[in-house]
Amino acid sequence: MRVALAGGGTAGHIEPALSLADALMRIDPQTQIMCLGTERGLENRLVPMRGYELGTIPAVPLPRRLTPRLLSVPGKLASAISAAGNHLAALEADVIVGFGGYVATPGYLAARRRRIPVVVHEANPLPGLANRLGARLTGHVYTGHPHSDIRHGRYIGIPLREQISKLDRLALGDKARAHFGLRPELPTLLIFGGSQGARAVNEAAFAAAERFTAAGVQVLHVVGPNNAEGPEDRTRDGVPYVVVPYVDRMDLAYAAADVAMCRSGALTCAELTAVGLPGAFVPLPIGNGEQRLNAEPIVDAGGGLLVENTDLTPGWIADTLIPLLTDTDRVVAMSEAASRMGRRDADTELAREVLAIARGERGDPVPAEVDESEIEVDESFVDDGKDTR
């Protein structure tokens, strides 16, 4: 079986695609996989690192509105569709699976021209624009959120790395804390802001450092690769406060923690619930509010807290977050609630669906509803490659 995956630009698009690739290979090691991406996205590091072939196409960050910039789009988009088509032909693809972002639109349209089955995975409750287009080309649409507003959508969860989905936090806890230089007996807060960090989260945490120390709460703080030159130890009075730019082993970070303070991108929410780690969610204050929508079901179920970006202060940390961390019974209850919201098998379930579609075992009764000429003028078909993490 030959499968093309279109998901580039951000970790929120790439990681689920790679997790699906891993699941496909576990089911059928003879599967041939190519990931479509651009020359500037994170996929240039992540895809080869995971052992998969990367086929690059031109990035076409299309405008959201009808502006003079749109005049340059048709030629660029045609070039990207052509490049995607060449990769599909070289692979002799049996199916393409898109996850949104810059590469999804050219991938979907190139596949449609070649009558290759299209599968769409939408991670967010509010679908990205590329996937709104994809959902008009196919009935094979799967979602990572139970209430995603996308046509033909079927809830399946977000494919996760086995390193995360199979994680036993309790069994690995002491080893994970030792790995980061943390003490085994202290309540532990993990702080991170997605793949690039989050300034507001970082600033609030640093401003509350003395309060963490006074309460005996140790911190593992992942500030983002652009916000630190290397690991930094802010330990005071024997209470560790470890600062690192980036963590390749997020499974160990999750295992070391009792609670996480973080943004609420779709992938982050899926990972925290899969491993049963309560989150103090700080939704990204820009965009269409999707990060708040990602976190709300978890919070409503008792598996996390929600704090607006403007309300994240040292006072909130002292009055709300630290009392949680020092209340073992409450942390356990929230962990169990978060775990009940998690989906650990979305990678395998989606892989089985994709293979069945490629074999022609899943009929697609939905006719193609898009005239490609509409793309030149219809703003609903553009995509800005937003980060879903």
Query: And the tokens for 250?
Result: 């997020």
Please name the residues in contact with 214: beta carbons below 8 A apart, sequence gap of 6 or more: none
> Does 161 appear as a known binding residue?
yes
Yes or no: say if 305 and 261 are a contact pair by the CB < 8 Å rule.
no
The residue written with tokens 């999804």 in the block is 104
> Does 333 appear as a known binding residue?
no
**DSSP secondary structure letters along 24-76:** HHHH-TT-EEEEEE-SSSTHHHHHHHTT-EEEE-------SS--GGGGGHHHH
Question: Distance (Å, rounded) from C-alpha 145 to C-alpha 313?
Answer: 29
> Does 163 appear as a known binding residue?
no
Please name the residues in contact with 179: beta carbons below 8 A apart, sequence gap of 6 or more: 249, 252, 256
> Does 218 appear as a known binding residue?
no
CA distances from 23 to 27, 54, 156, 350 (A): 6, 18, 14, 9
* DSSP one-letter code for 236: B
Query: And the tokens for 139?
Result: 């009935």
Widest CA span in the chain: 66
> Does 10 appear as a known binding residue?
yes
Which is nearest to 136 in space by CA: 381, 363, 355? 381
Query: And the tokens for 26?
Result: 């576990």
Question: Distance (Å, rounded) from C-alpha 363 to C-alpha 360?
Answer: 7
Question: Distance (Å, rounded) from C-alpha 135 to C-alpha 202?
Answer: 38
**Which parts are annotated binding residues?**
10-12, 124, 161, 195, 291
**Which parts are annotated binding residues for UDP-N-acetyl-alpha-D-glucosamine?**
10-12, 124, 161, 195, 291
